[in-house]
């Protein structure tokens, strides 16, 4: 069955939501093909078995594996299916995508992030380029996200604060744990600027969405009050009000068909029963998250595009990005604080919401060169009880604890301490060793080749990560935390992915033009994080939302012209 | 459609397990009564599994025990789950056979004939081997899920694990429609969504 729409959008997460929202509201007939189901708010509970311990919000790895290529110590690359390794690389396969399960730590990229090459120069072995647009071009769209998706916070002044067109966030900050004040004082003693972390979580209700009720389970869980600014709730659900939006859940697009004149005419997909279906439309938008977006283009081969759609220059899948950095943490022991203070530390639900951007740029001690640094976020260990209990199975010598010894250890871990953590975010330097291709052997349950992801990192990222982690460690020491440890590695976080279809002005080294239209295809846009040539040193979601609003505005002009 | 068949099958099994879940509590006093094997274990495997959970989370007067949190019935539910990693399920069961072999090698007799102290000693000894420690660790993970899982999964009765650890499990809690695996029915939906009242 085939039906003609104005626009067909593949995916429904942060990169798709703004386009679905804007084009539907403007009166265009929009079809959304989402590979996963539509989980209603009433479906979303705080059940750890469902949200964490089983593959409910992600595909079954036996049905839909991916292949990860990692570098061994001797420099070779080894590929292994995620079904075989158990190293699940999926995140959020459903309407709204991974934005349903984000923690919603939201930061704008900073002006220098748009000009990384010009401001900080070459790095050997890296493919760093400036963006074809500036921070000023993006600023109005960052502001729009604050209002439409809903961001709470306090825009406190600091040395790397991004220029804003409004004074403050539209929603006041969420309620904080007393630890936030302690962190402020600890960083002040060190001379570091600590700032409130903006969150894509409503602190006050608005139409069809309730305010946050501090459930204690945010990241990895769907929101039960609709306070979290997922694309599902903030944008796709709102788009239904227009009467112009059709969302087809459990529709796995496997091929985009062109007409021999570099124009897509049809999206072919499998429905929930595994039957082949198709949708015809005038314009096509792909926003399936970076890895799957590149995979779909590479799978959409034909005579016009023998190497994959929009890939006659061989750029699709190249310069994949993750977020570089690492994690650290220490323990706040009851014995080190007065009873009342410790009880306040143990208060569940309320947030830490503190970050340091003081080292977004720093001077290298040896060379005196300006280095692009990054951000440090502070947070409590996740409330997940099973995850925490499982980690306590092992003693300091990595021997299994069991019996009464384990039970006593577990009881103490839950009652006598709380772990305070930090996360380091630095640029993932783009290189030739981080990319997506189609695996020549491994297929998914429909018989299509799966994504094979090479995850090489640049050693520069490790140096920056370590520099930042030491600052995080210093703050925790000042705070009175004990047994502090951190690790920085080149392991890619699967929930922070971008790149693969860079935007730029030169078709020889970019897939998309500055409006995120494919250079080589007349009616194809890519609006997820794939467009990013560099990723900044903050989480990507706000920028993905903002860019998708920017592209939606361009598309509205194009569609209204009938072009 | 496939998911719906799976769900009906699951509910039937749960009813069975729920009835059977009383049995392990009874056999703490009357060992000669057979354990509910759920059709997924042999009787020998079942006895080793039940004893192993007691060994890992004993009834020691300190917090809940494997028996009070219904670790064994929960384990049977895991083994009966058609969506659970088949290799992992096989590993759980293989380990039970390894313990039987180990008993024959070390004690010269089957596990079920050993005294309680000898059984405990054998598992302590196994915990010092690579294979034993790894397998016991996987079993303890099942025990932890039973300790801290929602009571809707026939484990952690009245949230005793949460209460013991002063843990706030968050709300809302799962119900019959949105618990695992019922929630997976959403993956079978084909109807296009065009209006808010469909949600």
HEC string for B30-48: CCCCCCCCCCCCCHHHHHH
Strand partners, A199: A105, A152
Whether A219 has a pLDDT exceeding 60, the answer reads yes
Helix (H, G, I), strand (E, B) or coil at A424: strand
Strand partners, A67: A81, A452
Listed residue (A401, A159, A125) closest to B124, CA to CA: A401
pLDDT tier at A366, thresholds 50, 70, 90: confident
B4 membership: H or E segment, kind and range = helix B2-20
| B63, closest residue in chain A (CA to CA) | A407
Q: CA dist B62 to A202, A407, A429, A441, B161, Å?
A: 42, 7, 51, 53, 12
Tokens 């459930």: give the residue: A215
Average pLDDT over residues A323-348: 98
Whether B27 has a pLDDT exceeding 80, the answer reads no
Helix (H, G, I), strand (E, B) or coil at B13: helix
Listed residue (A130, A142, A246, A237) closest to A548, CA to CA: A142
Q: Is B29 on the interface with A (CB under 8 A)?
A: no
- Measured distance CA(A475)–CA(B195) in Å, rounded: 50
Residues of chain B in contact with residue A62, where contact means CB-CB under 8 angstroms, are 85
> How many other CB atoms sit within 10 Å of the CB of residue A278?
16
| A53, closest residue in chain B (CA to CA) | B145
pTM here is 0.94
- What is the overall mean pLDDT for chain A? 97
A120 membership: H or E segment, kind and range = helix A116-120
Residue A403, Cα to own-chain centre: how many angstroms? 40
Q: Is A273 on the interface with B (CB under 8 A)?
A: yes
Average pLDDT over residues A243-266: 98
Helix (H, G, I), strand (E, B) or coil at A297: helix
Task: Write down the pLDDT at residue A500.
Answer: 98
Of B127, B170, B186, the CB nearest to A215: B170
- Burial (CB count within 10 angstroms: exposed 0-12, middle 13-18, buried 19+), residue A419: middle
Residues of chain A in contact with residue B192, where contact means CB-CB under 8 angstroms, are 246-248
Contact A252, A448 (CB under 8 A): no
Residue A505, Cα to own-chain centre: how many angstroms? 25
Listed residue (B91, B184, B46) closest to A63, CA to CA: B184
Residue B127, Cα to own-chain centre: how many angstroms? 20
The verdict on a CB contact (< 8 Å) between A42 and B178 is yes
- What is the overall mean pLDDT for chain B? 86
Q: Is A85 on the interface with B (CB under 8 A)?
A: no
- Measured distance CA(A387)–CA(B3) in Å, rounded: 28
Residues of chain B in contact with residue A345, where contact means CB-CB under 8 angstroms, are none
Task: Write down the pLDDT at residue A337.
Answer: 98
- Measured distance CA(B67)–CA(A207) in Å, rounded: 48
Q: What confidence tens digit (pLDDT) does each residue in A394-425 have?
A: 999 999 999 999 999 999 999 999 999 999 99
Angle in degrees, 0-180, between the axes of helices B86-107 and B116-126, rounded to the nearest 10: 120
CA distance B179 to chain A (A): 7
Whether B45 has a pLDDT exceeding 70, the answer reads yes
Listed residue (A387, A496, A493, A436) closest to A99, CA to CA: A496
The verdict on a CB contact (< 8 Å) between A272 and B127 is no
Task: Write down the pLDDT at residue B20.
Answer: 34
Task: Write down the pLDDT at residue B33.
Answer: 54
Average pLDDT over residues A193-203: 98
Residues of chain A in contact with residue B179, where contact means CB-CB under 8 angstroms, are 45, 47, 49-50
Report residue A421 as tokens: 């953590």
Task: Write down the pLDDT at residue B3.
Answer: 28
Tokens 């748009």: give the residue: A114
Contact A226, A209 (CB under 8 A): yes
- Measured distance CA(A529)–CA(A508) in Å, rounded: 20
Whether B11 has a pLDDT exceeding 60, the answer reads no
pLDDT tier at A3, thresholds 50, 70, 90: low
Q: What confidence tens digit (pLDDT) does each residue in A517-556 have?
A: 999 999 999 999 999 999 999 999 999 999 999 999 999 9
Residues of chain A in contact with residue B137, where contact means CB-CB under 8 angstroms, are 393, 400
E strands within A144-212?
194-196
Task: Write down the pLDDT at residue A482.
Answer: 98
- Measured distance CA(A186)–CA(A424) in Å, rounded: 18
> How many other CB atoms sit within 10 Å of the CB of residue A165?
9
Tokens 């709102």: give the residue: A238
> How many other CB atoms sit within 10 Å of the CB of residue A167?
6
Report residue B106 as tokens: 């070390």
Q: Is B137 on the interface with A (CB under 8 A)?
A: yes
- Measured distance CA(A484)–CA(A355) in Å, rounded: 18
Of A47, A60, A272, the CB nearest to B189: A272
β-strands A524-526, A498-500 pairing: unpaired
> How many other CB atoms sit within 10 Å of the CB of residue A88?
15
Contact A353, A171 (CB under 8 A): no
Average pLDDT over residues A130-152: 98
The verdict on a CB contact (< 8 Å) between A407 and B127 is no
Listed residue (A18, A86, A28) closest to A58, CA to CA: A86
pLDDT tier at A28, thresholds 50, 70, 90: very high
DSSP A389: H
Of A50, A250, A383, the CB nearest to B189: A250
Listed residue (B125, B63, B33) closest to A405, CA to CA: B63
- Measured distance CA(A57)–CA(A51) in Å, rounded: 7
Q: Own/partner pairs for A70-73, CB < 8 Å, 24+ apart? A: A70/A455, A71/A433, A71/A456
Please report the DSSP string for B114-150 in residue order.
S-HHHHHHHHHHHTTSHHHHHHHHHHHHHHHHHHHS-
Phi, psi of A251 (to 5 degrees): -115, 105
Phi, psi of A76 (to 5 degrees): -80, 165
- Measured distance CA(A501)–CA(A533) in Å, rounded: 8
The verdict on a CB contact (< 8 Å) between B141 and A385 is no
The verdict on a CB contact (< 8 Å) between A403 and B174 is no
Q: In a mutagenesis test of the B interface, which of A30, A39, A385 is the best target, namely the one with the most B β-carbons within 10 Å?
A: A385
pLDDT tier at B102, thresholds 50, 70, 90: very high
Average pLDDT over residues B84-92: 94
CB contact residues (below 8 A), chain A span 387-416, against chain B = 389-390, 393, 399-400, 402-404, 406-408, 410-411, 414-415
**Interior angle at CA A96, CA A131 and CA A272, nearest 5:** 120
Phi, psi of A400 (to 5 degrees): -70, 130
Residues of chain B in contact with residue A216, where contact means CB-CB under 8 angstroms, are 168, 170
Residue A24, Cα to own-chain centre: how many angstroms? 25
- Measured distance CA(A51)–CA(A72) in Å, rounded: 32
Strand partners, A378: A354, A422
- Measured distance CA(A415)–CA(A352) in Å, rounded: 19
DSSP A258: E
Higher-confidence residue of B135 and A91: namely B135
β-strands A434-443, A449-455 pairing: antiparallel
- Measured distance CA(A276)–CA(A10) in Å, rounded: 16
Report residue B150 as tokens: 């929602």
Whether B148 has a pLDDT exceeding 90, the answer reads yes
- Measured distance CA(A112)–CA(A196) in Å, rounded: 21
DSSP A211: P
Please, which residues have CB within 8 angstroms of residue A366's CB and are 6 or more apart in sequence?
none
Residues of chain B in contact with residue A57, where contact means CB-CB under 8 angstroms, are none
Listed residue (A156, A112, A171, A107) closest to A136, CA to CA: A112
The verdict on a CB contact (< 8 Å) between B189 and A393 is no
- Measured distance CA(B123)–CA(A408) in Å, rounded: 20
CA distance A53 to chain B (A): 9
β-strands A354-356, A264-270 pairing: unpaired
Q: HEC profile for A69-110?
A: EEECCCCCEEEEEHHHHCCCCCCCCCCCHHHHCCCCECCCCC
Average pLDDT over residues B11-34: 37
Beta-carbon contacts below 8 Å between A and B? 170
Average pLDDT over residues A60-71: 95
Q: In a mutagenesis test of the B interface, which of A29, A49, A395 is the best target, namely the one with the most B β-carbons within 10 Å?
A: A49
Tokens 């001077």: give the residue: A363
Q: Is A485 on the interface with B (CB under 8 A)?
A: no
pLDDT tier at A563, thresholds 50, 70, 90: low
Listed residue (A95, A107, A123, A316) closest to A195, CA to CA: A107
Task: Write down the pLDDT at residue B31.
Answer: 45
């Amino acid at each position: 069955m085939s039906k003609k729409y104005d626009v067909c959008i593949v995916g429904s997460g942060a990169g798709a939501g703004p386009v679905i929202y804007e084009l539907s509201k403007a009166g265009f007939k929009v079809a959304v093909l989402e590979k996963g189901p539509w989980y209603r708010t009433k479906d979303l509970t705080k059940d750890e078995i469902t949200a964490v311990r089983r593959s409910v919000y992600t595909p079954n790895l036996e049905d839909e594996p991916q292949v990860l290529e990692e570098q061994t110590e001797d420099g070779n690359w080894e590929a292994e299916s995620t079904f075989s390794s158990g190293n699940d690389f999926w995140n959020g396969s459903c309407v709204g995508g991974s934005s349903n399960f984000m923690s919603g730590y939201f930061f704008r990229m900073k002006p220098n992030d748009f000009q990384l090459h010009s401001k900080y120069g070459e790095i050997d072995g890296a493919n760093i380029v400036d963006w074809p647009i500036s921070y000023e071009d993006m600023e109005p769209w960052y502001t729009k996200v604050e209002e439409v998706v809903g961001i709470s916070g306090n825009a406190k002044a600091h040395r790397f604060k991004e220029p804003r067109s409004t004074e403050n966030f539209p929603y006041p900050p969420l309620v904080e744990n007393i630890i936030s004040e302690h962190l402020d004082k600890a960083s002040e003693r060190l001379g570091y600027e600590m700032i409130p972390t903006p969150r894509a979580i409503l602190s006050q209700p608005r139409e069809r969405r309730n305010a946050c009720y501090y459930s204690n389970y945010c990241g990895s869980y769907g929101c039960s009050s609709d306070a979290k600014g997922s694309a599902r709730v903030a944008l796709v659900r709102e788009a239904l009000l227009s009467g112009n939006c059709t969302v087809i859940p459990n529709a796995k697009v496997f091929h985009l068909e062109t007409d021999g004149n570099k124009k897509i005419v049809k999206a072919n997909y499998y429905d929930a029963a595994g039957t082949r279906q198709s949708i015809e439309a005038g314009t096509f938008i792909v926003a399936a998250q970076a890895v799957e977006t590149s995979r779909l283009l590479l799978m959409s081969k034909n005579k016009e595009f023998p190497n994959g759609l929009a890939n006659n220059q061989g750029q699709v899948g190249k310069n994949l990005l993750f977020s570089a950095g690492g994690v650290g943490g220490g323990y706040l022991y009851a014995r080190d604080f007065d009873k009342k203070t410790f009880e306040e530390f143990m208060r569940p639900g309320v947030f830490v919401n503190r970050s340091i951007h003081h080292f977004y740029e720093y001077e290298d001690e040896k060379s005196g060169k300006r280095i692009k640094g990054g951000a440090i976020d502070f947070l409590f260990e996740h409330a997940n009880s099973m995850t925490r209990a499982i980690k306590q199975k092992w003693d300091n010598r990595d021997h299994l604890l069991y019996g009464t010894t384990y039970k006593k250890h577990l009881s103490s871990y839950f009652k006598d301490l709380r772990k305070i953590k930090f996360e380091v975010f630095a640029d993932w330097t783009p290189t030739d060793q981080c990319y997506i291709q189609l695996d020549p052997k491994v297929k998914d349950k429909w018989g299509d080749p799966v994504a094979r992801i090479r995850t090489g990192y640049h050693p520069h990222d490790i140096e920056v990560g370590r520099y930042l982690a030491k600052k995080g460690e210093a703050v925790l020491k000042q705070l009175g935390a004990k047994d502090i440890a951190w690790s920085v590695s080149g392991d890619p976080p699967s929930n922070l992915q971008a790149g693969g279809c860079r935007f730029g002005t030169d078709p020889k080294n970019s897939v998309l033009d500055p409006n995120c239209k494919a250079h080589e295809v007349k009616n194809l846009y890519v609006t997820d994080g794939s467009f990013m040539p560099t990723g900044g040193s903050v989480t990507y979601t706000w920028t993905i939302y903002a860019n998708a609003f920017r592209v939606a505005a361009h598309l509205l002009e194009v569609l209204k012209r009938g072009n | 459609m496939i998911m719906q068949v799976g769900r009906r099958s699951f509910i039937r099994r749960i009813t069975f397990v729920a009835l059977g879940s009383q049995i392990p509590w009874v056999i703490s006093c009357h060992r000669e009564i057979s354990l509910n094997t759920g059709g997924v274990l042999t009787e020998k495997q079942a006895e080793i599994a039940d004893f192993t959970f007691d060994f890992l989370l004993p009834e020691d007067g300190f917090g809940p025990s494997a028996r009070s949190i219904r670790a064994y019935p929960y384990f049977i539910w895991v083994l009966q789950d058609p969506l659970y990693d088949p290799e992992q399920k096989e590993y759980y069961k293989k380990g039970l056979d390894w313990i039987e072999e180990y008993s024959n090698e070390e004690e010269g007799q089957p596990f079920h004939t050993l005294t309680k102290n000898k059984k405990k000693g054998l598992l302590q000894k196994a915990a010092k081997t690579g294979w034993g420690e790894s397998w016991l660790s996987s079993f303890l993970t099942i025990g932890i899920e039973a300790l801290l899982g929602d009571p809707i999964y026939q484990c952690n009765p009245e949230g005793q694990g949460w209460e013991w650890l002063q843990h706030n499990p968050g709300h809302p809690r799962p119900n019959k429609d949105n618990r695992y695996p019922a929630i997976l029915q959403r993956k079978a939906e084909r109807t296009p969504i065009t209006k808010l009242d469909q949600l």
